[in-house]
A and B are shown apart, each in its own frame.
Chain A
Amino acid sequence: MEKLNDKWYRIIGIPAVALVSNIIFYYDMNKRHGFSFWMDYLYSLVTAFIIWEVNRQIIIYTRKKFSSYRQSIKRIKWTAIGIVSITTIIVFLISLFYDVTDYWGYDYTAENYLYNIFAALTYAVIIGGIYEAIYYFRKWKNIEVEAEMLKKENLQSQLDSLKQQVNPHFLFNSLNTLSSLMRKDVNKAEKFLDELSKVYRYLLRNNEGELINLTTELQFIESFVHLLKTRYGDALQMTISVDEVAKNLLLPPLTLQLLVENAVKHNIIDKQMPLLITLETDDQSWLSVSNNLQKKSISLPSNKVGLSNIAGKYKLLEQPSNYYIRNERKIYSINSLN
């Protein structure tokens, strides 16, 4: 909890309150016992000090207990109850003391008691209200700032994931290929451009993460692979064998793309050592992407975000996903949803 920064509030507030209450509430009474003004002021000052400090402790306590903005109503309620009851008790005791000792030289009536309590409560409630108002306003402002920050963070993460999907490396490599094709083979260039726009339309549209059926994702994968095949020629080979039954299964969009891209990123793709990627389903509706393992000599600066991203998505969907190496092949398999 932040410290109660009310030093000047108290230094000025307590004498001021004592002075004002002296003038408003006790002007007539003071005349009756004929003390000097400063003597009367001293009594008021001491009383005001006691009430202020005790109530301040109540405020500190309730703020600690109900510190958040959401607990404001509880906090205000308990502060009010605390201030009213404690102030009443204090003033009652002080009045009792004056009454019993016959301090001012006259009897204390029930009216006197009530009057003192009423005066002190007026003061305590106003001061307590000011404390709470300041606190409440600060909390409210903080909430505004936090909400703004959250909004910004959210936007940033959306932008990051978008950037990730648009993948500038892939885009510029593809544009480079396109630029070569245009000189060499206009028909191929046209086809390449068509597939490139299909790929990007899909990438941009399916950022949001709703599930998609396998047929749609496969159409996209075919376009994606067409681009890769045009770039790498025979150095890259892709086999797709998906059971008809499996085609209506659902999966998070771009899952297969990420797996294919991963294989391309981390493995040697060379005419002498072609990379063979296989995408297939089995009879238990497991969908797997596998490739022959021929890792690049130095591992690329990989943040492993890709695979853990998929694993995370599948965990959320409460579906199994597996990753293993068998017979010199790296296999990633996921269980599709019905």
Chain B
Amino acid sequence: MTVLIVEDEELAVEKLEHMVAEIEKEAELVGSVSSIKGTVEWLNKNDAPDIILLDIELSDGQSFEIFKQTEVESTVIFTTSYDEYAIKAFKVNSIDYLLKPVQKEDLKAAFDKYKKLNTINKPLGKETLNIQ
């Protein structure tokens, strides 16, 4: 399970890295970026990670901009201290909206949700292929 962290404050990045490593052994941190520009570049250059931990307020604007500028195939977990964007976050492929400071249990629940959704979706995907 690959994870990309998008977060503009260095200390917050460290905190998330630490937390991810602690609660999810399978998680592999593939990078961290701090801006809209940086995220779009990263996504265009690399394989889509399984999960993006995405802060909403980034150094150069709001992360919703990323979805306008590039195709995002990853599952998104928003991390933010702003609760007013929850509705907007629904519109992109997000599975959770975590409020900062992120609590361990909440992050773990989000990862569990990701895994659960994935095991349901994968066999379904194969079946669809077989029918075709």
Contacts and interface: CB of A to CB of B under 8 A. Distances in A.
B8 interface: yes
Interface stretch (A46-54, A169-177, A314-322): A169-177
A170 to B, nearest CB: 9
Given A235-B59, A297-B36, A169 B82 contact: yes
B15 interface: yes
Interface residues of A, number: 26
Interface string B73-86: 00000000110000
Contacts of B18: 183
Contacts of B15: 176, 179-180, 183
Interface of A, secondary structure class, is helix
A264 B82 CA distance: 16
A231 B81 contact: no
A268 B81 contact: no
B60 A268 contact: yes
A184 interface: yes
A163 interface: no
B65 A297 contact: yes
Interface in B32-65: 34-36, 59-62, 65
B14 interface: yes
Given A176-B81, A298-B65, A268 B59 contact: yes
A237 interface: no
A138 interface: no
B101 A176 contact: yes
Contact of B11 (A172, A177, A270): A177
Contacts of B9: 173, 176-177, 231-232
Interface of B: 8-12, 14-15, 18, 34-36, 59-62, 65, 81-82, 99-102
Interface of A: 168-169, 172-173, 175-181, 183-184, 230-233, 235, 268-271, 296-298, 300
